[in-house]
Structure 1
């Protein structure tokens, strides 16, 4: 019996394999060069961020565990500075003032911007819309120091606000608005609200441009009025922009410094003292660098605790 010859082994072209291997290597080299170029472009900004943002945060965290006057030798005190932050009524009062400013710096400007943006959208074809946008955004381009000085004059005893109140027969309620314990913080809040409205307005108007006009036409056909259109179409359509506005303005409230330093310097008493201003006083006037650093870390943690949930809301909406 004659057995069948064995099957021939497949012939592999070594030339084709070498060509495929060379092409793969060239692709890897091109990909590596592209990635390297991208990293090199990012490197200057990353270095700037590390040196001027991350490094100061790390140094502040280190200083927060020491008692140091900024000049002499430092003494390790552990968490004593953090205990001071949460046990000193003056420091906790500053945090409370910052949270109260959220009402004026965030909630009120966002509400005003929503109403104003909806009105401007309704008259978008007229010249009045462009004028309104410019007037309402103008406070954003004015330096905060200049805004603080201007409002300090207007809210003074002989300022424009009191003169207008006297003109309308309300002279009995006039006062030094920034010098009265009961009105100083709300007066500062009004300044902050005036500044923040413009930013919120621009963001919300930008969000309204992506809403399909056909939705409004369909709502009118169904008999919906302006209020129903606002709550059923406009507000859901600008939800992401509102979240951004709230995030930015809450940070501005918690980290406020410029306006308050110019307008009241934390007074009268401690009625307008906020964390940013208190950190400045602790570090440069009282020479308590350790306590100031601990307060700064606490402030950063408070901002993150508020901002991160808002960012999660944004990501959830996008998904």
Structure 2
């Protein structure tokens, strides 16, 4: 027997009772833990079954339909990935993707920029009338999209408040049927999206600023930092999580835009305001091509999921 064995034997003998006691405790707790797990699964089972029935099953059905050419009445014909290829070769769909990119600027980038500006102005200290300002900006969030669309359709009308205001200040030459103009219809819809999304971004960012320790701002002011440097050095880095959430919600909202377009322009004039979601509706219900509609839906869902994953990953890397 070596000297090393003589040295290690007391350690092994001392550790053995500890290991046996841990194993005994694990065996004693395992039945209880198993019961808790089964109990938790039993409570979650109804919700999981309902989620699977209303979400998972329709998604799987849509994936299946996307491989067929079917009008919803006659026999379906298997076409493989032809519907997916058509999505990226159909001129109407490609045009609608270009419209979505424009809407992303109005629905996401501009509201986030304005929300950050509002957070910088309202997030620190008390400002006279800040409560009313926040309420007015958040108001679109408590209105349904149908109400918002109807209100703005009236504002943009030929005799609506916008044209009346232009005529009142001597700018009657600029008055037009905004939603009926090939050039201005899409930006006009974008302004509606900006008005709707800005309140959500503002609330997220103001809440985020309130969570930043005040000592950081005080130290920055002691060091002579001005408002702009304070914003880029403290406020913006402290809002990375909120910016990621706002970017995810607004970008996916722009990609899925349907009700606003359908109520205001129905994709017109011509095809100047069509979106993939609007074309999906037309393919599914107006000129039935259920397979193509399913393919559009699957691609939109995949793009929204990809956008969410990319934004989440980038925000986690920056926070690391």
Q: What TM-score results when the alignment is normalised by the length of structure 1?
A: 0.90
Match of 2:258 in 1: 257
Contact 1:154 1:160 in 2 (8 A): yes
Q: Structure 2 vs 1, CA of residues 21 and 240 (structure 1 numbering), >3 Å: closer, same or farther? A: closer
Correspondence list, 1:50-69, <5 A: 50-69=52-71
Match of 1:281 in 2: 282
1:129-163 per-position Cα deviation (integer Å, ceiling 9, x unaligned): 22221111111000000000000000011111111
Q: Structure 2 vs 1, CA of residues 126 and 168 (structure 1 numbering), >3 Å: closer, same or farther? A: same
Match of 1:220 in 2: 221
Q: Name the stretch that deviates more: 303-312 or 224-233.
A: 303-312
Structure 1 regions of 5+ residues with no counterpart? Answer: 1-18
Q: CA deviation at 1:317?
A: 3.9
Match of 1:315 in 2: 316
Match of 2:36 among 28, 34, 37: 34
Aligned residues: CA RMSD: 1.8
Match of 2:51 in 1: 49
Match of 1:92 in 2: 94
Match of 2:204 in 1: 203
The number of equivalent residue pairs is 301
Q: Structure 2 vs 1, CA of residues 21 and 178 (structure 1 numbering), >3 Å: closer, same or farther? A: closer
Alignment partners' CA distance in 2, 1:20 and 1:241: 43
Q: CA deviation at 1:127?
A: 5.4
Q: Name the stretch that deviates more: 72-81 or 143-152.
A: 72-81
Q: CA deviation at 1:164?
A: 1.1
Q: CA deviation at 1:25?
A: 4.3
Contact 1:120 1:132 in 2 (8 A): no
Q: Name the stretch that deviates more: 263-272 or 34-43.
A: 34-43
Q: CA deviation at 1:187?
A: 0.4
Correspondence list, 1:72-91, <5 A: 72-91=74-93
Q: Name the stretch that deviates more: 27-36 or 295-304.
A: 295-304
1:180 aligns with 2:181: yes
Return the index of the structure with the highest Cα Rg.
Answer: 1
SS at match of 2:123: helix
Match of 2:110 among 104, 108, 111: 108
Structure 2 regions of 5+ residues with no counterpart? Answer: 1-20
